[in-house]
């Protein structure tokens, strides 16, 4: 190979590695932010936007960099540093944000610390702090292509083709980065290890450029490189403890706040004293399991909580409310026990446990997306769900619920839908006109559908709540009405003309039938309540008095072709 | 002062020896078409002649080499109106030439102030078309996820494939694009508008065809015999749009160099800006307010308007393009006006496979 070709190869190789590193940093930031905040659409699109904006500014001002080679070395060292710290930075910043926010709005129970974040000013600070880092990484990455184009021009002479080749190879590096991240780095290494590995790669490029091009100040650079290397190694070695500290802080925050002490050393000691969070990553989501002490009839009981992508799923000591209301209230309302049931979601097997109490039920087809959930239900939660997944009447299948109803020719007497709330476009698909139309098709004519969906009633949202250090007045407002209307209208236009919403404890459910006027609202009078716990029965008495305001109109319909997402107002 | 000029460079070899009257005839043509201020002529020994005219337009020169039957001629005019082609034709009629090497150069661009305005136009176009491209890609990601599911994976794959095929577009740019940048740009915009605008609907039709195939042939829809071609066809659409967008960027870089000696990465900066705008607007504003097919029609319309704008601004006369632009414009507007009915029909037919 002659020198010219070697130089060309060298330039293209460096460009592609740099592009790879940069896009991985961006993906790391957007994914970490999406997970910690729970607001996917907003953070993922904003992060990619700010990153690309940074690239633009970098490309625009790159001609201000006078010394090409020196600038490149500086940028690589800088990027390596920022890339290595980016995940840890998000953890620390988000943890601090949560802590300060909760100081003002601490409510004493587990749920509140997740749902009550109200300080606008704090949100702004959080936003600028986080996206400042994204912009900086984008900016430094934006310098890279023009610098590489300049190096190509200086070393190989001017050619437009060279310019286009640098651009092209940069795109290829970005593609490899995107695919590697989605299929290899994130599932195999998780976020912190990924940041360490990629930062090291970036540092190597920096060292190569230094050895190859730098003429002076080699000592100073060697010092910098050593410092960055030590920092990257420290992050890599302490990966476990960093993740654990953050997760503990995240989940046990209400407990931490309930002990009145703001000394920082003491805070860290207290965080470390909690039991570790078991985090695992499935193909689709993070599954976190941890023990949480709750007060029940003045006794402190250790209960286990499971979250998916940090969204609360169930608490072992309170889940019976939810699953009993789900299974029994709907069957009582229907006045007839269905024989053939379809259950979509609910991989934990807890709803199955309740359904299997009916001898009349002949078969339950169970569709779950995530194998991980089924595995957990068969091992860790097998006691809790009374081995419901091993019951001969239950036929479990790993499949996408939407695909299943779209392609099945089976018909069911009842369909139970237990999906996460529609807070992303991906999940909104499972609350769409198209999905419910297929659900209706899979239903026998007098069958019913019941699902757990966000639906708001007036009573629950107009109370003054005394919350630790603050009194919070929640107001039932227009947003709740719109959210209700989206759900209700989508059902109506999918062909479900009878519609009954009910709330038990903190959960709202919807009971649906195709025929208009098919619901007898006095179902409680002649109900068989033998399968229910006394607490559930107490809560059920309230159902009759609940008022759920909504309007049915075409403009509120959530379609996969025009998605409407019920936005969560949180960071 | 408008510094833009035209420079005719004309080299030719005659079939026969020149005569005195040939040269006189050429001089006559210059005198009638242009305004001569001063003439300088010099005859060399034993043969050959150089003639220079200072024109109010600029200058005219001719050098003859009778022994080679060769002459070399320059006409430089400081305006864009003079028809140098016509003058050249008149000269060609005087002498029967055997070989001609001629071209008209566009001079004086870097001295021209108005070019800054044209340069800004290129930057503006860059922002708009970059925004359109990312919107097409998001639309495709969204519509493929309606038929194939798994939105998050679709978006990741789409962005990756889009960026890579842009890279291929940039790499293969020289093979596909000729020097007539503005015309080529219009062509790329027209194809993009057509492909991008109907791509979301095509996704549904592809899905419908494979569904019908699986129902009639008995091959399971989930078998790789159906899934592999389905996947390939859907993702080819992404590659097509990415490739065309990849041609756009170097094209815009070259367009900007028409007006000013400038570095390509300024265009790159504006391209990023357009992408940024599209990436933020799509999930937060556009997707919740319009049907995805309608978004496709609107973005296509914008692309067509960009083509029309360039055509008018750059005075490009081309009957074929003009016809296509106006036809597409009318179709997109009609589609947008009737979008509710059309979209519903398409969804009913191709997504649900008829009413139920």
- Per-domain residue ranges for chain A? 3-237, 244-311, 320-556
Q: For A248-262, A265-279, B7-21, B226-240, which range has the lowest pLDDT when averaged over its residues?
A: A248-262
pLDDT of residue A140: 94
Question: Considering the domain boundaries, does residue B201 fall inside one?
Answer: yes
pLDDT (0 to 100) of residue A466: 46
Contact call for B264 and A563, based on CB within 8 A: no
How much is the pLDDT for A567? 55
Disruptive mutation site among B269, B296, B352 for chain A (greatest number of A CBs within 10 Å): B269
For B234, the token pair is 């859907």
* Burial of B269 (C-beta count, 10 Å sphere; 0-12/13-18/19+): buried
Binding-face residues of A in 547-566 toward B, CB within 8 A? 559-565
CB of B194 less than 8 A from some CB of A: no
Distance from B163 to chain A by nearest Cα, in Å? 5
Q: How many helices (H) and strands (E) does chain B have?
A: 12, 6
Interface of B with A in 234-263 (CB under 8 A): 246, 249-250, 253-254, 263
Q: State chain A's mean pLDDT as an integer.
A: 83
pTM of the model: 0.75
Exposed/middle/buried for B352, CB within 10 Å: 0-12, 13-18, 19+?
middle
Residue pair A256/A264 in contact by the 8 Å Cβ criterion: no
**Arithmetic mean of pLDDT, B299-308:** 95
- pLDDT value, residue A468: 42
Using pLDDT thresholds of 50, 70 and 90, give the confidence band for residue A460.
Answer: low
List of residues 6+ apart from A472 with CB closer than 8 A:
A105, A107, A116, A464, A465
Task: Please tell me if residue B269 touches chain A, with a CB cutoff of 8 Å.
Answer: yes
Check residues A266 and B105 and name the one with the higher pLDDT.
B105
Residues 6+ apart with CB under 8 A from A396: A366, A367, A368, A374, A389
Average pLDDT over residues B47-63: 92
pLDDT band per the 50, 70, 90 thresholds, residue A259: low
A443-462 mean pLDDT: 82
Q: Which residues lie below 8 Å from residue A272, measured CB to CB, with a gap of 6+?
A: A245, A248
| Closest Cα in chain A to B127 | A56
- Rounded to whole angstroms, how far apart are CA atoms A214 and A411? 73
Write down the pLDDT at residue A121.
75
Q: Residue B156: pLDDT above 90?
A: no
Residue B71 maps to a domain: yes
Instruction: Kindly report, residue by residue over A529-538, the tens digit of the pLDDT.
Output: 777 777 777 7
Q: What share of chain B is helix, strand, coil (3-state, %, to 5)?
A: 65, 15, 20
Q: Tell me whether residues B149 and A45 touch, CB distance under 8 A.
A: no
Residue B193 within a domain: yes
Alpha-carbon distance of A21 to A28, in angstroms, equals: 10
Predicted local distance difference test score (pLDDT) of residue B261: 62
Q: Is the pLDDT of residue A290 over 50?
A: yes
Per-residue confidence (pLDDT) for residue A462, from 0 to 100: 53
Beta bridge partners of A281: A286
Rounded CA separation A127/A131 (Å): 6
d(CA A531, CA A287): 31
Question: B218 to each of B148, B222, B225, B230, B337, how far by Cα in Å?
Answer: 20, 11, 12, 16, 40
Mark which of B107, B128, B157 sits at the end of a domain. Answer: B107
Mean pLDDT of A422-439: 86
**Where is the domain boundary, B57, B85, B107?**
B107
* pLDDT given for residue A467 in this prediction: 44
Residue A261: pLDDT band (50, 70, 90) is low
| pLDDT band of A470, cuts 50, 70, 90 | very low
B187 domain residue, yes or no? yes
Domain A3-237 has CATH 1.20.1250: yes
Do residue B80 and residue B202 come from a single domain?
no
Query: Would you state the pLDDT for residue A35?
Result: 80
Query: For A371-375, B49-53, B268-272, which range has the lowest pLDDT when averaged over its residues?
Result: B268-272
Q: How many whole angstroms from its chain centre is CA B23?
A: 42
Q: Which of B90, B107, B124 is the last residue of a domain?
A: B107
Asked if the C-beta of B92 comes within 8 angstroms of chain A's C-beta atoms, the answer is: no
What's residue A352's pLDDT? 94
> Cis peptide leading into B46, omega within 30 of 0?
yes
Best of A34, A52, A57, A559 to disrupt the B interface by mutation (most B CBs within 10 Å)? Answer: A52
**Per-residue pLDDT for A111 more than 60?**
no
**Minimum-distance CB partner of A425 among B151, B153, B352:** B151
Quote the pLDDT of residue A469: 44
| Whole-angstrom distance, CA of residue B45 vs CA of residue B24 | 19
- Helix, strand and coil content of chain A, in percent to the nearest 5, comes to 60, 15, 25
Q: Indicate if the pLDDT at residue A568 is higher than 70.
A: no
- What topology does CATH give the domain A320-556? Rossmann fold (3.40.50)
The residue behind tokens 């003009």 is: B322
- Tokens 């007060």 sit on residue: A295
DSSP A444-482: EEEEEEEEE-----HHHHSSEEEETTEEEE----HHHHH
Domain with residue B39: its CATH number is: 3.60.90.10
B48 backbone φψ class: left, alpha, beta (φ>0; ψ -120 to 50): left
How does the average pLDDT of chain B come out, rounded? Answer: 87
The pLDDT of residue A161: 74
In the predicted model, what is the mean pLDDT of residues A306-323?
A: 84
The answer to whether B179 faces chain A, any CB pair under 8 Å, is no
Which of B143, B151, B170 lies closest to A164 in CB terms?
Answer: B170
pLDDT tens digits, residue range B316-345?
888 899 999 999 999 999 999 999 899 989
Mean pLDDT in residue range B52-80: 91
Residue A262 pLDDT grade (very low, low, confident, very high; cuts 50, 70, 90) = low
Q: Cβ contact (<8 Å) for A167 and B250? A: yes
8 Å CB contact of B269 and A42: no
* DSSP-derived secondary structure letter, B284: I
Same domain assignment for residues B98 and B235: no
3-state secondary structure labels for all residues of B241-277: HHHHHHHHHHHHHHHHHHHCCCCCHHHHHHHHHHHHH
Q: What is the pLDDT of residues B232-288, one digit of tens each?
A: 999 999 999 999 988 998 899 888 877 766 666 788 888 888 988 998 888 878 888
Mean pLDDT of all residues in A260-271: 69
Residues paired with residue A341 on neighbouring β-strands, in sequence order:
A364, A414
B239 found inside a domain: yes
A55-72: average pLDDT: 84
Residues B159, A178: C-beta atoms closer than 8 Å: yes
| Per-residue b or e along B150-177, where b marks 16 or more CB atoms closer than 10 Å to that residue's CB | bbbbbbbbbbbbbbbbbbbbbbbbeeeb
Q: How far apart are CA B130 and CA B124, in angstroms?
A: 10
Q: Which residue blocks in A106-189 are alpha helix, DSSP H?
A: 112-115, 120-156, 160-180
Closest approach of B111 to chain A, Cα-based (Å): 22
Spatial distance between the Cα atoms of A36 and A129, rounded to a whole number of angstroms:
15
Length of chain B: 356
Q: Is A41 helix (H, G, I), strand (E, B) or coil?
A: helix
Q: Specify which residues A124 forms β-bridges with.
A: none
On whether the CB atoms of residues A97 and A126 are closer than 8 A, the answer is yes
Burial class (CB in 10 A: 0-12, 13-18, 19+), B229: middle
Considering only CB atoms, which chain B residues are within 8 Å of A44?
A: 283
Do B239 and B347 belong together in one domain?
A: yes
Are A567 and A423 in contact by the 8 Å Cβ rule? The answer is yes
Residues of chain A positioned with their CB less than 8 A from the CB of B173: 164
Check CB contact of A409 with chain B, cutoff 8 Å.
no
Instruction: State yes or no: pLDDT of A503 exceeds 80.
Output: yes
The continuous run of DSSP H or E covering B304 comes out as helix B292-313
ipTM of the complex: 0.72
Look-up of token digits 């299948």: A397
Structural domain harbouring B326: 114-351
A455, A503 Cβ separation under 8 angstroms: yes
| Residue A213: φ, ψ to 5° | -110, -30
Query: What pLDDT is stored for residue A114 in this prediction?
Result: 44
DSSP string, A48-93: HHHHHHHHHHHHHHGGG---HHHHHHHHHHHHHHHHHHHHHHHHHH
For A216, which DSSP code? S
Nearest to A63 among B145, B253, B263 (CB): B263
Looking at residue A512, its pLDDT comes to 92
Residue B40: CB atoms within 10 Å = 10
Longest dimension (CA), chain A: 92
Helix, strand, or coil here: B17? coil
Residue B340 contacts A where some CB pair is shorter than 8 Å: no
Number of structural domains, chain B?
2
B156 shares a domain with B56: no
Whether residues B186 and B279 share a domain: the answer is yes
pLDDT of the residue at A18 = 93
Backbone torsions φ then ψ of A426, nearest 5 degrees: -65, -45
Q: Are A198 and A76 in contact (CB under 8 A)?
A: no
Give the residue with greater pLDDT, B344 vs A3: B344
The Cα A422–Cα A303 span in angstroms is 27
| Digit-coded pLDDT (tens) for A432-448 | 999 999 999 999 988 99
Kindly tell me if the per-residue pLDDT of B302 is higher than 90: yes
Q: What is the 3-state secondary structure (H, E, C) of A308-352?
A: ECCEEEEECCCHHHHHHHHHHHHHHHHCCCCCEEEEEECCCCHHH
Q: What pLDDT shows up at residue B72?
A: 93
The mean pLDDT value for A461-489 works out to 66
DSSP string of A10-40, one letter each residue: HHHHHHHHHHHHHHHHHHHHHHHHHHHHS-H
Most confident of A367-376, A451-460, B142-151: A367-376
Say yes or no to pLDDT of B53 above 60. yes
Active site residues of B: 58, 63, 78
B356 within domain boundaries? no
**What percent of chain A clears pLDDT 70, i.e. is strictly above it?**
88
């Amino acid at each position: 190979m002659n020198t010219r070709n070697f130089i060309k190869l060298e330039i293209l190789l460096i460009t592609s590695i740099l592009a790879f590193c940069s896009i991985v940093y961006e993906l790391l930031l957007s994914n970490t932010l999406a997970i910690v905040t729970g607001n996917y659409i907003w953070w993922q699109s904003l992060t990619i936007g700010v990153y690309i904006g940074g690239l633009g500014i970098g490309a625009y001002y790159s001609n201000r960099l006078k010394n090409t080679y020196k600038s490149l070395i500086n940028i690589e060292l800088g990027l390596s540093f920022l890339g290595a710290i980016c995940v840890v930075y998000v953890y620390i910043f988000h943890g601090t944000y949560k802590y300060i926010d909760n100081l003002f709005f601490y409510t004493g129970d587990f749920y509140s610390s997740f749902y009550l974040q109200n300080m606008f000013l704090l949100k702004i600070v959080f936003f600028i702090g986080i996206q400042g880092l994204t912009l900086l990484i984008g900016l430094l990455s934006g310098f890279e292509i023009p610098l590489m184009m300049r190096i190509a021009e200086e070393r190989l002479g001017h050619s437009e083709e060279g310019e286009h080749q640098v651009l092209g190879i940069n795109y290829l590096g970005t593609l490899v980065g995107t695919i590697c991240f989605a299929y290899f780095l994130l599932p195999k290494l998780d976020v912190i290890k990924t940041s360490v590995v990629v930062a090291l790669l970036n540092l190597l490029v920096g060292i190569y450029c230094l050895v190859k091009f730098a003429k002076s100040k080699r000592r100073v650079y060697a010092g910098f490189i050593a410092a960055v290397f030590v920092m990257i190694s420290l992050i890599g070695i302490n990966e476990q403890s960093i993740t654990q500290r953050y997760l503990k802080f995240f989940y046990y925050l209400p407990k931490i706040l309930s002990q009145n002490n703001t000394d920082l050393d003491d805070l860290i000691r207290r965080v470390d004293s909690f039991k570790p969070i078991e985090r695992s990553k499935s193909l689709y989501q993070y599954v976190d399991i941890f023990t949480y002490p709750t007060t029940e009839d003045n006794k402190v009981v250790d209960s286990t909580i499971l979250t998916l992508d940090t969204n609360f799923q169930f608490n072992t000591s309170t889940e019976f409310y939810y699953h009993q209301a789900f299974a029994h209230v709907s069957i009582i309302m229907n006045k007839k026990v269905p024989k053939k049931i379809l259950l979509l979601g609910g991989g934990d097997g807890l709803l199955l446990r309740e359904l299997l109490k009916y001898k009349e039920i002949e078969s339950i087809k169970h569709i779950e997306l995530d194998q991980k959930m089924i595995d957990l239900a068969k091992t860790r939660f097998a006691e809790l769900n009374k081995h419901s997944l091993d019951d001969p009447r239950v036929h479990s299948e790993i499949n996408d619920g939407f695909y299943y109803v779209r392609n099945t020719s089976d018909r069911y007497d009842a369909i139970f839908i237990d999906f996460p709330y529609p807070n992303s476009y991906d999940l909104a698909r499972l609350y769409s006109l198209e999905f419910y139309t297929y659900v209706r098709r899979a239903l026998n004519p007098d069958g019913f559908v019941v699902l757990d969906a966000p639906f708001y009633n007036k009573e629950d949202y107009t109370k003054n709540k005394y919350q630790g250090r603050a009194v919070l007045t929640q107001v039932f407002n227009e947003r709740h009405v719109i959210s209700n209307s989206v759900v209700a209208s989508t059902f109506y236009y999918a062909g479900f003309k009878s519609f009954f919403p009910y709330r038990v404890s903190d959960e709202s459910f919807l009971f649906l039938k195709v025929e208009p006027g098919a619901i007898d609202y006095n179902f409680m009078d002649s109900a068989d309540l033998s399968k229910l716990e006394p607490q559930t029965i107490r809560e059920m008495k309230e159902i009759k008095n609940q008022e759920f305001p909504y309007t049915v109109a075409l403009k509120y319909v959530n379609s996969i072709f025009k998605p409407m997402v019920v936005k969560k107002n949180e960071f | 002062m408008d510094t833009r000029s035209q420079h005719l460079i004309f080299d030719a070899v005659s079939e026969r020896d020149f005569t005195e009257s040939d040269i006189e005839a050429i001089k006559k043509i210059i005198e009638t078409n242009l305004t001569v201020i001063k003439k300088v002529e010099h005859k060399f020994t034993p043969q050959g002649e150089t003639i220079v005219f200072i024109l109010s337009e600029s200058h005219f020169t001719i050098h003859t080499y009778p022994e080679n039957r060769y002459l070399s001629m320059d006409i430089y005019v400081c305006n864009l109106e003079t028809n140098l082609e016509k003058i050249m034709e008149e000269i060609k009629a005087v002498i029967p030439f055997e070989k001609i090497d001629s071209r008209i150069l566009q001079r004086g661009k870097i001295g021209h102030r108005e070019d800054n305005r044209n340069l800004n136009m290129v930057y503006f176009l860059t922002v708009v078309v970059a925004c359109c491209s990312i919107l097409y890609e998001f639309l495709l990601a969204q519509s493929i996820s309606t038929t194939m599911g798994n939105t998050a994976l679709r978006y990741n794959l789409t962005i990756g494939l889009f960026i890579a095929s842009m890279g291929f577009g940039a790499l293969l740019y020289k093979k596909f694009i000729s020097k007539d940048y503005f015309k080529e740009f219009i062509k790329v915009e027209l194809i993009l508008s057509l492909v991008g605008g109907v791509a979301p609907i095509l996704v549904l039709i592809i899905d419908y065809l494979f569904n019908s195939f699986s129902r009639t042939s008995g091959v399971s829809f989930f078998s790789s015999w159906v899934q592999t071609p389905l996947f390939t066809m859907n993702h080819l659409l992404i590659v097509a749009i990415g490739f065309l967008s990849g041609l756009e960027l170097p094209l815009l870089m070259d367009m900007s160099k028409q007006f000013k000696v400038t570095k390509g990465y300024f265009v790159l900066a504006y391209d990023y800006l357009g992408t940024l705008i599209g990436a933020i607007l799509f999930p937060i504003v556009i997707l919740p307010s319009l049907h995805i097919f309608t978004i496709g029609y609107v973005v296509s319309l914008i692309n067509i308007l960009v083509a029309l704008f360039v055509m008018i601004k750059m005075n490009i006369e081309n009957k074929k393009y003009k016809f296509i632009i106006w036809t597409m414009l009318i179709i997109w507007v009609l589609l947008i006006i009737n979008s509710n009915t059309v979209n519903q029909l398409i969804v009913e037919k191709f997504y649900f496979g008829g009413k139920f």
